[in-house]
Amino acid sequence: MKTLNSSSTLSCILKRIRIIVIMINKKIIFGLFILSFLGACGAGPAAMLGPAYTLSSTGNAFHAGLSYSSSEIITNYTGKTPLENLEKITKKDLTNLKNIKKQTLESEGFYLLVKSKIEKTRGLIQLPIK
């Protein structure tokens, strides 16, 4: 039987295939390592979405940095994100808004205002009063 010498074409192809397989395995191992190492980095990119959008839409890096830093200051000071603070404020205002509407509609001043507007409009369009 004839053995392959180290300079034959087939042995060169086999060496290249072996190197390619080793490189693919290294890439897979490196990818899994990076994935497991950076798996807990979910909050960081989410916090940068707003400033990244600001930077891409306006092109102003100073404005994007100001947006991010003000968001971080608010979060550190209040313990809540700006969006959570906004939700809290709007929920509080909506409960008071219903009472304000009711009080306004039932007030004497509102009745007099509507009555004067109706009389003014009748005078402009000259409708007969019954």
Between the CA atoms of 118, 123, 124 and 130, what dihedral angle is there, to the nearest 10 degrees? 80
Cα 6 from chain centre: 60
Q: What is the pTM of this model?
A: 0.34
Between the CA atoms of 64, 66, 67 and 70, what dihedral angle is there, to the nearest 10 degrees? 160
Greater confidence (18 vs 45) lies with: 18
| Neighbour tally for 64: CB within 10 Å | 20
pLDDT at 75: 86
| Token couple for 86 | 């906004």
| Neighbour tally for 94: CB within 10 Å | 9
Q: Is the pLDDT of residue 95 over 60?
A: no
Q: What is the pLDDT of residues 24-55, one digit of tens each?
A: 888 888 888 777 777 665 555 566 666 777 77
- CA-based nearest residue to 67, from 56, 79, 83, 51: 51
User: Alpha-carbon torsion 72, 77, 79, 83, what sign?
Assistant: negative
Between the CA atoms of 63, 67, 72 and 77, what dihedral angle is there, to the nearest 10 degrees? 110
Three-class DSSP category at 38: coil
**What average pLDDT does range 107-127 have in this prediction?**
83
